[in-house]
Amino acid sequence: MAECITLDLQQSFGDMTDCVVVTNADREILFVNKAMEQLLRVSSEDCVGSTTERFFSDTDQFEKLGEIYQSPADRPQQKTYTLELLRGDSTTVCAEVVGAPLVDTDGNLSGFLFIARDLSERKALENKLSDIALTLEDAVDAINEGFAIFDNEDRLIICNDNYREIYALTAPAIFPGNRFEDILRFGLNKKQYDTFDLDNEAWLEKRLAAHRNANGSVIEQSLSDGRWLRVSETRTRSGGIAGIRADITELKHARAESENAYQNLSLMADNITGSVVEVDPDGKCIFLNKTACEWFDGTPDNLLGTRLRDRLPWKEREVMRSFLQEACKGKKVSSEVGLHFPDGVHRECQIDCNPRVLENDQVKGIVVLITDITDRKKTERTLAELYAITSTRELGHEDKIAEILRLGTEHFDLPFGIISHVIDDHYTITHANSPSGELEPGTSFPLKDTYCTLTLDADGPLATANAANSQFARHPCFEIFALETYIGAPLLVDGVVHGTINFSAAQPRKRPFSPADIQIVRQFADWVGHEIARQRDHQALMDAKINLERVASIDDLTQILNRRAFLERANTEIQRFRRTKRPFTAVMIDIDKFKHINDLHGH
């Protein structure tokens, strides 16, 4: 029987990653698995037959641990021991040890099953866990495991006390020789398990299928008292099944809280208009928000784990790489740079790289916030140039209007710019800016066939970046001219509607119009209206000047040049003579009886 148990132990625990040792009631070692050999740095042959005392660096710990051999059935609960073990090469290792009594069919103590874990390995693993895992450190340290072995007929061979404690309601049915299915049925009748929406038979069939599969995969089991267990079962070489149960209730709760926190974080990040990305020190993406997915033209499934900078042109890739290198040194990096994103849009960006630093000053990750400042930068440049155009004295009225149209096409990145004059139902182009001169001033259209009728009805700026998917699709202009992009504003001259200023394109605009764009087209309309008004005032002034000069030079009665005009002409000729030395002649004619001529023929 001992050889059979030893064989089952070898088959069940021989290749386990946890360190396993089995002793008899006299604390003599009967079995150690490979992991325990590696932990203690001794061979199985050197261990078996000796007592466990040789592996205690502190004899007091050995004596204290011996208490569990005296009255194991009287212990109220399973304990975990932290022991300083002495290895075969005289070095020591700190290990966490859990012991479970082994009883025979008569209920007598036949030995103990110990599972040991190298705490240094756990600490190394814990340092690699995510922040969520770190918050669960206490829960992980407090996990108690239950062990059970079933033979090839699925009857219980042996289990530890912790197994019975985990399934307290089922404990009366947990005895050697009882079938696993019978144990499950007993537990179902005692409402040990949470079957969710399944009836008992359906739940039992599903659980038995997973149990008989016994391929080492992990399943999670819910108990009716709210606890959760992690169950891992493996087929032994003799055809039996060895299983481990671990309480993961705290882990499940913490995982639910962390998932909720992650969802809240994702929700917040997705509501940020900029791109939020976290990368590891190698530059691989470990988090990104919705905007980042759109800009980098992908989904979390195909972007996570990749280097997002590899999707940029090589020059910009090098710039981003230099930013991340600085951030990896623990420095915060902020800069403005233009980037061509995979979604086909060039954006001027504010880049902020914020290193996430651990307590040991090691950079664990870098949070990269990319803010699109294209509209702000373009608006600043456009307003500055608009001021330069409107304030210069080097340009005339027509030149200023032409420059404003050019500036508008560049700002909105649209090919066509038009200033129109609207009289009644007629729309006439007065000024135009187009790539090849397609639009000619003087061309007229019915007002109802242009988007500008919508602008005038709105009594303010109006825009669409994709007419096919907007109210503009139902307008005649979309059918006649197929303009997908349009932005325009009413043009007022001295408070009266003169027409419109608008910019358009046949293709949809990749970037939607921003509030700043609406204000810019309003500014264009105000300045063009101002220039047209100034042009009218200037023309009226010139006409008045000409009229005044005529009044000052022409005799009202005779409608011929008067004495003042004669003297000005004479002075001009005298100045010409002084420059050229060419002689000139002055003729004076006296007409007799001139009054008679006036009386007869009129003045």
Count of residues making up the chain? 603
Q: Could you tell me the two tokens for 94?
A: 């700190």
Rounded distance between C-alpha atoms, residue 353 and residue 368, angstroms: 5
**Would you call 115 exposed, middle or buried from its count of C-beta atoms within 10 A (0-12, 13-18, 19+)?**
buried
Q: What is the mean pLDDT of each run of 10 residues along the chain (603 residues)?
A: 64 81 87 87 87 86 82 59 87 87 80 83 59 35 68 89 89 92 92 90 92 90 90 90 88 77 69 88 91 93 93 93 92 93 93 89 90 89 90 88 93 94 92 90 92 92 93 91 94 91 93 91 91 80 78 77 84 88 86 85 80
Asked if 196 and 178 count as a contact pair (C-beta separation under 8 A), the reply is: no
Q: Could you tell me the two tokens for 451?
A: 């988007």
pTM: 0.48
**Considering only CA atoms, which of 40, 42, 34 is closest in space to residue 10?**
34
Is-same-fold flag (129-270; 394-538)?
A: yes
CATH topology of domain 129-270: Beta-Lactamase (3.30.450)
Asked if 68 and 27 count as a contact pair (C-beta separation under 8 A), the reply is: no
pLDDT at 451: 92
pLDDT at 261: 63
Q: Which alpha helices (H) appear in 242-360, and where do they start and end?
A: 249-270, 290-295, 300-303, 314-328
Domain boundaries, the chain: 129-270, 272-372, 394-538, 563-601
CATH topology of domain 394-538: Beta-Lactamase (3.30.450)
pLDDT at 127: 61
pLDDT at 76: 45
Rounded distance between C-alpha atoms, residue 34 and residue 95, angstroms: 16
**Considering only CA atoms, which of 160, 75, 67 is closest in space to residue 115?**
160
Asked if 129 and 154 count as a contact pair (C-beta separation under 8 A), the reply is: no
As its CATH architecture, domain 272-372 has: 2-Layer Sandwich (3.30)
pLDDT at 519: 93
DSSP 168: G
Q: What would you report as the CA-atom Rg of the chain, rounded to the nearest whole angstrom?
A: 47
